[in-house]
Amino acid sequence: MFRNYLKIAFRTLSKHKTHSLINLIGLSVAFASATLLFMTAWFEWSYDRFHTDSERIYRLYIQESSGESTSIMPYPLTPALQTELTDAEAVTRFMWSQTEFVGEKRVAKDIRFVDPAVFKTFSFPFIQGDPNTALNELSSMVLTEDMAQDLFGTENPIGKTLRTDGLNTGRDFVVTGVIANPRSNSSFQFDALVRPEVRADYQPNKAEWGNRNHEIFVKLKPGIDAQTAERRLSALSQKYWQADIAEAKRRGDKPDERGEYISLRLQPLTDIHFDTKGVMGGGISRTYVYALALIGLFILLIAGINYVNLSLARSVTRAREVGVRKSLGAQPGQLLGQFWAESLVVCVLALGIGFGLVLWLRPSFNRLFGTRLSTDLLFQPGTLVAIGLGFGLISLLTGGYPAWLMARFEAVTVLKGKLKGPKAGGLRSVLIVAQFALASLLITCTLLIGQQLRFLRERPLGFNEEQVISLPLRNQDNLSGNRAVRLLRDRLRNNPDVVSVSGTASNVGEGIDGGMSRSMSGWTHNNREVQTDWLRVDFDYLKTLDMNLLAGRDFSPAFSTDTASAVIITQSMAKQLGETNPVGVFIHPDTTGPKYQIVGVIPDFNLYSLRQKATPITMHLDASTELAYALIRTTPGGMIRVMDQLKGLWREMAPTASFQASFVNENTNRWYVREERFATIFQLAAGLTILLSCMGLFAIALLSIEQRTKEIGVRKVLGASVPGLVALISKDFLKLVLIAVLIASPVAWYAMNAWLQDFAYKIDIEWWVFAGAGLLALAIAFVTVSFQSVKAALMNPVRSLRAE
C-alpha cells in the first residue's frame, strides 16, 4: 500500500513540475538556512555553559546609587574576599595582557593573570600537571595545548623555562602544566596563565582600593544563592568603601532598593557573553541570538506557508480526482495517506538537499558571519534529534492539513462540478498575510539596522581617525615601548609624509593584534567622588589624533615636570571635579603617590565603542607605565609610503617581532563588526523571505488565473482593457499585502526599539522607514502578480473561451 502511495506521489509531482519545483526549492533553502541560523543561535547561547557548576560561578561588579556600574576591580579586593566571604568556594582574579617570548621561537601570545583558585573555579581540563599545585609558585606558568606545541613541538614542556619580554617586565617562568585549548564558545581565550603578583604594577597597587584593572570571579558553595551572597558582600562594601559612601550621602544621592549607596553584586557567568554594557562593550546582545532563531523560524514558516497555499489552491483542481477515488471505494484514511505521502516525498527530498547545502555552505557562512560552526555540532545527537523533530512537524503541518481537506470532499458534488468541500480561501488569505508580514518585518528591520550602522560610523568620535597608523609595540630585544616610540619619532622626523608621532598604552579602536587594556582610578576630590579612565599617552597625542584644547595647554618637552606630574583631562572629568576653571588644579589619585596638576582640558572623546557613552579620561605621561602602541599621523597621500617605511624600521628595531600595524579608521570600524554581520544576516534573510514569498504568490496567482480564464476572456470580449484586467486580478492580493504591512510595522518598531537600547548613541525611529518598507513590499508583490496578470490579459479571448 505504502509503495503504491509513493509511486503515485512521484507521478503526481512529475506531472506538476512547476509547483513541485517551487515547493522543493523553497523547502530546501528554508531547511538549510534555518539549520545554519539555529546552529549559530545555539552556539552563541551555549557560551560558558560547559564549565562544571557554571550556575554557581559569578563575575563581581560594583553598583553605585548613581546607576553607574563596573566590573573592573582593585587588587586588594580578592584577598579580602578569600578571607571574609565564607559563601565562596573559590575566588580568582582574571586580567589580560599580551607578550612576546624570547628563545628560538619568538611568538606573540596572550597571557592572562589568574590566581591558583582559577582551576577550582573554571573547568580547564589538564593534559599534563596537577591543577592543585600548578600555580602555587610565582614563577609557575600553565600553557594551552597549542602554545606548548608551538614552543616545544613534541617535547615534554613540563619543567622547561620560558622567558618573557612582556608582562610589563622581563621574567623567567617554569612550565608546570598544560591544559586543553579553550573552547570556541568560551569567554576566556588565552595561551597561558600566570600569577597576578608578577605584574610590575602589583606591588605599588596591591593595597590601593582606587586603582582598578582586572575582573574577579567567584564560585559559590553548593546551596548558596546569589541573593544570599550579595547580602554578605554588603558588609565588605560598607567596610572598604566608607569614604565613597560618605561622599554619595553628602551629594544627596538616593540609596538603591536595598538601601545601599555602593554595593558588590554578582553577575552569572552565563550572562557575561550577553553583557553589552560591560567594560569594553564587547558583549553580544541577546536580541541578536533571539533574532537568529526567529529569522530561521520565519524562513521555515514562509516555505511551509508556500507549500500549504499551493496545496490548497491545487485542491480545487484535484477535486474530480478525489471524487473518482471515493466513488471507486477509497476511504478517507487512504486518501489522507496518499496526499500526505506526496508531501512526505517533497519534504524528504528537500531535507536531503538542505542538509547537503548546510555542509557545502558552512565554511562560507563561517567566514561571512564570523561564526565557528563545526560539523561536530551538526552531527551531535541533540542537533539531529532537533532536525528530525522539526522535519516531522513541518511535514505533518504542510502536508497534513491540505491532505485532510481534500479527503473530506464529497464525491457526488465534485463529480457534478459543484465543489462543496471546506472553503480554504480564507485560510489561504491568512497565510499570505502571514508571509508578507514576516517579509515586511525583516525589510523594516534591515533598513533600521543599516541606518544605525551609518549613524555610528558617521558620528564624530572626538578625534580624527583618518590618516593615522597604529603600531603595536612588544617589549623585547631590550626594546621597551617607551624607547620604541622615541626611536620611531627620531627616524621619522625628516619624513615629509609624517605629520606627528605619539604613543599610548591603550589602542585606538580594535587593532589586528587583538590587544586591549583599560585602567581606571577613583578617589575623592574636595568631597566629591571622582572616577576616570587613567590613560598613558606620549607627547603629541593630541596633535596625532587631531584633538582641540578647550583650555590650558598640551604636554610639552619644554616643561620638565610634565613627565612626572602633569595631566590633561576631558570635559566630563572636569565636570566631576566641580572646578570652575580646572587648569592649574592639583589632583591626588593615590594618597601615597604624587599629586598631579591639570594643565589642559579637551572635549570628551570615545576611546571605546559607541555602545557606551564617552567616559571621563585623565591622560598622563608617567614613564612607569609602558607605551604599548605607536601612533603615526601621515599626510593624506603618504599613508602607504609611511606604512612601507615602518615595516623596514620595525625589522631593524625588533628583527624577531611580528609587524601588526593597522589604520586607526579600520580599527574603529572593527567596533561594529558584529552589527555589520547582524545587518548582513537581516539583508540576506529579508531577500530570502521576499523571494520565497514571491514564489508562493506567483504560484497562487498562476492557479487563480487558471481558474478565472473564462471570466478574463468574457471581460475582454466585453471591452475590458489590459490595465483594468491587471488591476482586477492584482487588487485582492495587494489588499492582503497591505494588511500584512500594517501588522508588521508595530512589531518591527517594538523589536528595533529594544535592540537600540544596547547603544548609548542611537537613531530616532522615523515613520518614513515603515512607509518605505511597506511600499517596497507592495511593489514587489505587484510585480510578481502582474507578470502573470498581464500574460493572461493579453491572451486571445477566443482561445480562452474555446479552452473552457
Output the pLDDT for position 179: 95
Q: Which residues contact 414 (CB under 8 A, 6 or more apart)?
A: 319, 320, 322, 323, 420, 421
Residue 689 has pLDDT above 90, yes or no: no
Q: Exposed, middle or buried by CB within 10 Å (0-12, 13-18, 19+), for 258? A: exposed
Report if residue 190 sits inside a domain.
Answer: yes
Residue 149 has pLDDT above 60, yes or no: yes
| CA distances from residue 521 to 119, 562, 568, 704 in whole angstroms, order as listed | 29, 20, 15, 72
- Beta strand 617-620 with 528-536 is parallel
Cα 659 vs. chain centroid, distance in angstroms?
28
Residue 328 has pLDDT above 50, yes or no: yes
Domain boundary among 657, 673, 696: 657
Q: Tell me: the pLDDT tens digits for 692-719?
A: 777 777 767 766 666 666 666 666 666 6
Q: Which residues pair with 214 in a beta bridge?
A: 73
Q: Tell me: the pLDDT tens digits for 273-311?
A: 887 765 445 577 787 788 888 888 888 888 877 777 776
Q: Where does the pLDDT of residue 423 fall: very low under 50, low under 70, confident under 90, or very high at 90 and above?
A: very low
Q: Exposed, middle or buried by CB within 10 Å (0-12, 13-18, 19+), for 300? A: buried
| CA distances from residue 601 to 535, 595, 607, 671 in whole angstroms, order as listed | 14, 17, 16, 26
Choice between 572 and 787, residue whose per-residue pLDDT is larger: 572
CB 290 within 8 A of CB 758: no
Residue 344 has pLDDT above 70, yes or no: yes
Residue 631 has phi, psi (to 5 degrees) of -115, 125
Q: Tell me: the pLDDT tens digits for 42-52?
A: 888 888 999 99
- How long, in residues, is the chain? 804
Output the pLDDT for position 280: 46
Q: Which of 715, 15, 732 is closest to 314 using CA atoms?
A: 15
Cα 468 vs. chain centroid, distance in angstroms?
27
Report if residue 460 sits inside a domain.
Answer: no
CB 53 within 8 A of CB 183: no
Report if residue 227 sits inside a domain.
Answer: yes
Q: Which of 255, 345, 349 is closest to 2 using CA atoms?
A: 345
Output the pLDDT for position 268: 93
Report if residue 168 sits inside a domain.
Answer: yes
| CA distances from residue 560 to 389, 557, 564, 614 in whole angstroms, order as listed | 74, 6, 8, 31
Domain range for residue 264? 54-274
Of the candidate ranges 187-201, 476-490, 543-557, 697-711, the one whose mean pLDDT is the lowest? 697-711
Report if residue 386 sits inside a domain.
Answer: no
Q: At what angle do helices 319-327 and 286-317 cross, to 10 degrees?
A: 60
Domain boundary among 251, 274, 297: 274
Of the candidate ranges 356-360, 513-517, 550-554, the one whose mean pLDDT is the lowest? 513-517
Q: Tell me: the pLDDT tens digits for 431-448?
A: 788 888 888 888 898 889
Q: Which residues contact 122 (CB under 8 A, 6 or more apart)?
A: 51, 57, 92, 188, 217
Q: Which of 69, 516, 505 is closest to 276 using CA atoms?
A: 69
Of the candidate ranges 115-124, 338-347, 519-528, 530-539, the one whose mean pLDDT is the lowest? 338-347
Q: Residue 111 has which C-alpha cell?
A: 597571557
Per DSSP, 766 falls in state P
Report if residue 134 sits inside a domain.
Answer: yes
Q: Residue 633 has which C-alpha cell?
A: 599621523
Helix residue ranges per DSSP H, 60-165 = 77-84, 118-121, 145-152
Share of the chain above pLDDT 90, in %: 22
- Beta strand 171-179 with 140-144 is parallel
CB 351 within 8 A of CB 29: no
Report if residue 380 sits inside a domain.
Answer: no
Helix residue ranges per DSSP H, 618-672 = 639-653, 664-669
Q: Which residues contact 41 (CB under 8 A, 6 or more apart)?
A: 289, 290, 292, 293, 296
Q: Which residues contact 614 (CB under 8 A, 6 or more apart)?
A: 462, 570, 572, 604, 605, 606, 607
Report if residue 429 sits inside a domain.
Answer: no
Q: Which residues pair with 108 in a beta bridge?
A: 100
Average pLDDT, integer, range 754-771 = 86
Structural domain count, the chain: 2
Q: Tell me: the pLDDT tens digits for 52-79?
A: 999 999 999 888 776 677 788 888 999 9
- Per-chain mean pLDDT for the chain: 80
Fill in the amino acid letter for 109: K
Choice between 213 and 269, residue whose per-residue pLDDT is larger: 269
Question: What is the DSSP secondary-structure string of 372-414?
Answer: ---HHHHTSHHHHHHHHHHHHHHHHHHHHHHHHHHHT--HHHH
**Sheet of 662-663, strand order:** 498-504, 629-634, 468-472, 662-663
Cα 418 vs. chain centroid, distance in angstroms?
57
Output the pLDDT for position 255: 79
Ramachandran bin of 153, using left for φ above 0, alpha for ψ from -120 to 50, beta for the remaining angles: left
Domain boundary among 657, 676, 691: 657
Output the pLDDT for position 141: 94
Q: Where does the pLDDT of residue 420 fall: very low under 50, low under 70, confident under 90, or very high at 90 and above?
A: very low
In the three-class reduction of DSSP (H, G, I as helix; E, B as strand; rest coil), residue 223 is classed as coil
